[in-house]
Amino acid sequence: MEYNKAVEGFRDKEYPMLRGKVYLDHAGTTLYAKSLIDDFSRKMLTNLYGNPHSRSEPAHLSGQEVDNIREKTLRFFGADPTHFDLIFTANATAAIKLVAESFRDLAVAGSTTGSFWYGYHKDAHTSLIGVRALTTKGTHYCFEDDAEVEEWLGGNLAKSKLPRGAGMPGLFAYPGQSNMTGRRLPLSWIARLRKSTRPQHQNTYTLFDAAALATTFQLDFSDPSTAPDFTALSFYKIFGFPDLGALIVRRESGHILSWRKYFGGGTVSMLTVLHEPSFIRRDTTIHGGLEDGTLPFHNIIALGCAMEVQRKLYGSMGSISKHTAFLSKRLYDGMVNLAHGNGQRMCVIYTDGSDTCSYGDSKTQGATIAFNLMDVGGVSIGYGQVEKLANDNGIFLRSGGLCNPGGLACYIKIEPWQFKRAWSAGHRCGDPGGQEIINGKPTGVVRASLGAMSTISDVDTLLTFLSKSFTDWSDDEKRAVPLADMVYFKGTTGNSIDSGIGSSVEEEPTPQCKHIKPTATPTSPQLVKVEEASIHSDASTELAIPTNSEPMRAEKTNFSSSESISGSASTEMAIPTNFNRWRIEETNLSSSESTPAASSTDLAIPTNFNRMRVRKPGIPSNTTTGLAIFGYAPATVKTLRDSAIITASMRNLRIAAEAQTDPLAKGKTPIQKRQAKNRSTRRRLQFWKNVDEM
C-alpha cells in the first residue's frame, strides 16, 4: 500500500478531461491517457495498414502488428506463448460466450447426456450467470459462498446439490473480483480443482472472469499448472482504450473450443457449399480457428500503444495496485466515520463481514466500495438520488444493480419473492426510473471505484460531498421540485418555485396554473394527500393516494343507481401495480352531489412512489377534474401565497389550490362579481384538467 504522488504531477497533462471533475467509476472503464491517443494517432498517420486477410504489403504489416501485440499481451500477464494462446474478442462477455458455446456444442456432440455441468459463484457478473442458460435438465449450480466452494473442493458437498451425470463435462466459473463490492476471491481454487483426484472433479475446467480484477491487479500466469483454463478480459477496464476484450486459453485445454460449431470468415481452411456441404477448420493455432471475420486490427494496434504508455506512466500493474489500495483504504476509513448529528452512521458499506476482506490489502480487496446512504432516522436514501446529486457536483459514480444479482441478494438481503415484487411494481434492471426502495430495502447500491490516475483529492472531494450533502438528511428534505418538463404556480407576490432542476414554462390558456412535483416518501408506502379546489363554497374533495410510474387503468362502475355519483357517470383511475394495498375513500362532493350517507365509494389500490393519474369525470356534468401526482426529488419547498400553498411534512404533502377572486372583479356590481367568481372557479377546474392531461 503506497501512494504514487507522481500521478499528481502528470494528471492535468495526461488526463485534461478530468480538470474540475472527480471520476470514480473505474470499475466501469478507466480513463485513457493523452499520450496513448497521441501515440496511436501518430502510428496510424505514419503507417499504411490493410486488412490482415489480404496479401498486400499493408495487409502484411497489419498481420505482423497483430501477431506481435498478441504475444506482447500474453507476456503482460506473465503468460508464456508456449503454454497459452490469446483470442481477441469484442469484450469479456464475448470471451465468456465463446467458452459457453463450445461447451454446449461439445456436450451435444460428445456427451451421452447431451449437456454439461456448470457451477458458478454467487458473486458472478450477469455475463457468467448467463452460461447456465446453455445447460439442459437443470445441470447448473450456484455456490452460495466461499465456504460452499471449499466444501465442494474438499469433497464434502452433498451430491444431491450437484446434478451431474456420469461422463458429463463440467465448467466451474467465478470472478477474480466482485464487480459490485471489489472483494477478491481465492486464486487457489483453480489449482486445487485441477489437482483433485475426486471423481466429481474430473473433466471439469475453469472459466475465470478477470475483467474487474485486472483493472488494478497484476495477473501472473507464469505457472501454467495454477492458471485458469480460460480467462476473460476487457482491455478498456485496464487502459481506458481500446474497446477490446480477449480470452486467454491454456493450450492443454484448447481442444474444448474446437467443438464450437459456428465458423466465420478466416477460420476455415476449406469450405464447400453445393452438393456436399463441408468445412475444415483451421488448426494451426487455437486463435486461428476462433477469431471469426476480420479482426479489429486498428484496436489491436492501439492496445500495443496502451501497454507501452501504461509502462511509462505507472511502471507496472503492481505499482497501480499499491496506489489504489492506499486510496481505497483512505476512502473506506473516511466513509466509516461519516455520521449524522444524532450518531446514526451515514454509510452502509457492503462487505462479506469476514477477516479475509480488508481495504488496503490488495490480495483480498480491490479498489471498489459498494455502499448506500442512510438518513438521520436510519432509512435508506435512494441510490439514484445520490448518484444524481453527485453528478450535479461533478462527481461521477455508478449506481444500481451493477449486473450482480447474487451480490445484491446476499449483501442487501433481498429474497427472490422481493425481487419479483419489485419487478411487478415496475422495477427494471438498468432503468433509471426504477423503484430504488421496496419495503424499506434498496434495490441497488452506489459504487465508487478508483483507478491508476485517481488521487487523494478525488477521495477527499467525495467524502466532503457526502458530508455536506447528506449529514442530518431526513424525510423532511424529500421535497417538491420543478422539472424541465413541468412548471409551477406563480403568486401575486412574485414568489415562485424555481429552485432545483429546470425552470418555469408558461402554458396557455391558463399560464398562472402550473404543474408541480410533490413529495412521496420512498422508504415505506406513504400517502400523498391532495385537496382539490372547492367546486362550491361548501364542498371539497380529498383523496389520499399512492403513486407509481407503471400505472394500470381501473374503472369504477356504478355501484347501483342509487349509489352512483351521477346516473350516467363512472369514475376512472389509473393506478399502479404492487402488493401493498391502501383504501381510498372519496369524501362528499357537495350536499347535492354526494353519494348516499350510508355508503361511500372506495377502492383498494396498490402503492408505489412515482406517478399515478386520477380522473373523476362528471362532478359537475360539464367539467372534468383530475390530478397528476409525481414522486420526489431534492430541492427547496417554498410557501406561496395568493395563488397556491404548498406544504411538506414528514409523512404527506398537501397541495391546496386556493380559490382566488378575479382581480378585475373589484368595484363591480354583485352580478359582475359573481360572474368573476365563476370565471375564477373555471380557472381552477382548468388547472386540474391541464395537469391531468400532462
Give CA–CA dist 501/624, Å, rounded. Answer: 30
d(CA 220, CA 176): 13
Place of cell 412512489: 609
Residue that wins the pLDDT comparison between 575 and 371: 371
- Which of 6-10, 63-67, 307-311, 353-357 is the least confident region? 353-357
Please provide the average confidence, as pLDDT, over all residues in the chain.
Answer: 74
Q: What does pTM read for this prediction?
A: 0.70
Q: Residue 35: enclosing H or E segment and its boundaries?
A: helix 34-46
Confidence at 564, pLDDT banded by 50, 70, 90: very low
What is the average pLDDT across 318-340?
97
The stretch 609-623 carries a mean pLDDT of: 34
Please check the confidence at residue 314 and state whether its pLDDT lies above 80.
Answer: yes
Instruction: State the pLDDT at residue 428.
Output: 76
Chain segment 439-449, per-residue pLDDT in tens: 778 999 999 99
Q: 449-463, pLDDT tens digit by residue?
A: 999 999 999 999 999
pLDDT digits (tens, 9 = 90+) for 161-178: 777 766 789 999 999 999
From the number of C-beta atoms within 10 Å of its C-beta (0-12, 13-18, 19+), residue 165 rates as middle
Cell numbers for 106, please give them.
461439445
**pLDDT over 80 (residue 101):** yes
* Residue 590 pLDDT > 70: no
Percent of the chain topping pLDDT 70: 64
Say if CB 523 and CB 380 are below 8 A apart: yes
Mean pLDDT confidence for 369-382:
95
Q: What pLDDT does 413 receive? A: 85
Domains with residue ranges and CATH for the chain: 6-11+315-477 (3.90.1150.10), 528-692 (no CATH)
Q: What value does the mean pLDDT take over residues 340-365?
A: 88
Lowest mean pLDDT of 185-189, 291-295, 474-478, 526-530, name the range: 526-530
Instruction: Compute the distance between CA of residue 95 and CA of residue 116 in angstroms, rounded to an integer.
Output: 18
Q: Is the pLDDT of residue 50 over 70?
A: yes
* pLDDT score of 251 more than 70: yes
Q: How confident is the model at residue 354 (pLDDT cuts 50, 70, 90)?
A: low
Q: Is the per-residue pLDDT at 550 higher than 50?
A: no
- Measure the CA–CA gap between 115 and 123, rounded to whole angstroms: 24
Please tell me the predicted confidence (pLDDT) of residue 429. Answer: 74
Amino acid 489: pLDDT: 31
Average pLDDT of span 344-366: 87
More confident residue, 345 or 610: 345
The highest-confidence range among 71-75, 538-542, 604-608, by mean pLDDT, is 71-75
Distance CA 65, CA 44 (A): 12
**Alpha-carbon gap, residue 338 to 286, rounded angstroms:** 53
Closest CA to 127 of 93, 77, 94: 93
Residues in the chain: 694
* Per-residue pLDDT at 666: 45
Check pLDDT > 60 for residue 192: yes
The residues assigned a catalytic role are 403
* 550 or 280, higher pLDDT: 280
Lowest mean pLDDT among 401-415, 505-519, 671-685: 505-519
Catalogue the E-assigned strands of 343-494.
347-349, 368-373, 395-396, 398-400, 437-438, 441-442, 445-449
Whether pLDDT at 77 is above 80? yes
Q: Which helix (H) or strand (E) holds 391?
A: helix 383-392
Q: 625 pLDDT exceeds 50?
A: no
* Per-residue pLDDT at 665: 41
pLDDT at 437: 83
3-state secondary structure of 648: strand
pLDDT top residue among 572 and 388 = 388
> What pLDDT, on a 0 to 100 scale, did the predictor assign at position 272?
74
